[in-house]
Structure 1
Amino acid sequence: MTTKADKIRALALAGYLRTEIATHLDIRYQHVRQVLERSGIDLGRSRGDPAGAAPATRKAVVKAVTSTVMVAPPYPVERLIEAGFSRLGQWALVSDDAFELDCIVPADPGVYVFVVDSVIRYIGLTQRGLRGRMGHYVRGHSRQRTSARVKGLILAALGAGSRVEILIATPEATEWRGLPVLTAPGLEAGLIRMIQPEWNMQGIRA
């Protein structure tokens, strides 16, 4: 189990209360609730929930989710900075269901990266302007499925006390044998393929 969300779901299915899950994983109750609701798991509200796991099974699950798992180290954020990305700012929680940016966003098109506690979680592209795209995440309209999904992930991360930072790059267009080449879409696609950020991969699997 390599993600905290996986651990939350496993503990809930093993019969643990949401308050117990929050304590075991040292996270906020709100984070547990949001993960379970997004996963369609309506368990852990009370002891009467039909989880049905025996005590021995419950202990085994806790041991599994709290043990150290050897995983590949995250792609270093500083490598993106060295390549030309710049730190724009970070999301700030203003209420249980809303957040805002702590900086002014440029109107230029480009590639953006969401970094949660120094781990790259999402890479996106906008050809209409970074300012407008960040506004999509703030509003999270249901018609914009990806924006709404990522908004929920940002809220969950902020609710858990994580820092969600934004990096941006605005690469110039180039050409190939006299033909125009848009660099930003290729940069986004290449980074997603190389890094495989968790939030991008969730969208592909959905």
Structure 2
Amino acid sequence: MTNHGNMYGPDFTFLGIERCDLDIPSSYADADVVIVGAPIDSGTSHRSGAKFGPQAIRGGDYLPHDAERPHLALRIDALKEMKVVDAGDLLMPGSDLVASLEVLAQATEKISRAGAIPVILGGDHSIASADVAGIARHRGMGKISMIHFDAHADTGEDQWGALVGHGTPMRRLIDTGTVRGDRFLQLGLRGYWPDAKTLDWMRDQGMRS
């Protein structure tokens, strides 16, 4: 079972858009975008709570979509121009981070193969390796590029001995050949991290920031 509504809150969709079920391909066969919640925070360092992110994002957009609020600059309403559906939250075994990330990777691969763009509501930063990995399984390992907006590079070699965590996803993407370093662009990075050793590794991979 990959779809479990909203695991940590009321079962409503983003902006009240149509619901789909990832286990029923016909429910999103004509979709341009599929929204998925990834309620997980077992990859965090100090503070839990990111698993409530999907619920908070859906709940924060309390006004239903009525096609009456176009983008101020583009003058179009994205939900009017595209078919966007919400698959709810993935059923993720929160105590097993690796298994949870595999659930997400399978979901994004499925959405990509259906011809839609997956939009993931997280969740801690560890999910960044899984959602990209799923797309790469469809599009080809090492064949996709990534633009990463973040205050930190998330290229740690490990996180207190663990290879998977919120500070390591970009390194895992490169180490596994999912995304080549020279196809990485990182925007918004600031101190206090990475350290000099990690910055040297990033330079050697061809990463740009």
Same fold (TM over 0.5): no
Q: What TM-score does the superposition give when structure 1 sets the normalisation length?
A: 0.27
Q: What TM-score does the superposition give when structure 2 sets the normalisation length?
A: 0.27
Which is richer in helix?
Answer: 1
> Looking at CA atoms only, which structure, 1 or 2, has the larger radius of gyration?
1
